[in-house]
């Protein structure tokens, strides 16, 4: 799944309509983020390095209609997938053509972060552990 830094930088340039993008090594490829939000991956799944944009289930048909495919991989002989889709070929031509796809990827990253925040707020806080040397309160009884 190796992909080179030059292609990752090119993808950052394509996605720049949503803000300054940075690429970092990730699982043999690259993760691309803007403002601390992961919006894309660059990975080679066996047919050359590709840009994979963050998406959600609601966008699946939109990506499929554009000829994109879902990011899938094998783990212990089982096919797995994540909510990233290959960037449409025509969008790879310029930042202007990529702009609506980049916006969707950022929107999906923002929604995912909001959902994570809501889940963490909904979890009850566990009581602080009692220090081992602290005296016990007498039980009423």
CA distance 104 to 53: 9
CA distance 52 to 20: 18
pLDDT tens string 54-98: 999 889 899 999 999 999 988 899 999 999 999 999 999 999 999
At 126 the pLDDT is: 61
pLDDT tens string 17-50: 999 999 999 888 999 999 999 999 999 988 899 9
Q: How confident is the model at residue 121 (pLDDT cuts 50, 70, 90)?
A: low
Q: Residue 47: CA atoms inside 13 Å, Cβ hemisphere, count? A: 6
Burial degree of 70 (CB within 10 A; 0-12, 13-18, 19+): middle
Q: What domains appear along the chain, each with residue ranges and CATH number?
A: 5-109 (3.30.1460.30)
Please calculate the CA angle 2-8-38 and round it to the nearest 5 degrees.
100
């Amino acid at each position: 799944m190796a992909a080179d830094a030059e292609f990752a930088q090119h993808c950052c340039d394509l996605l720049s309509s949503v803000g300054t993008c940075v690429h970092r090594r990730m699982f043999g490829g690259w993760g691309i983020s803007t403002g601390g939000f992961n919006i894309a991956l660059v990975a080679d799944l066996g047919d050359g390095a590709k840009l994979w944009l963050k998406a959600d289930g609601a966008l699946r048909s939109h990506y499929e209609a554009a000829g994109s495919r879902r990011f899938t991989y094998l783990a212990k002989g089982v096919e797995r997938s994540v909510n990233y889709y290959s960037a449409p070929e025509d969008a790879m031509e310029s930042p202007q053509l990529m702009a609506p796809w980049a916006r969707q990827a950022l929107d999906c990253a923002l929604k995912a972060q909001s959902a994570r925040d809501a889940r963490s707020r909904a979890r009850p806080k566990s009581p602080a552990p009692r220090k081992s040397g602290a005296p016990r309160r007498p039980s009423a009884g």
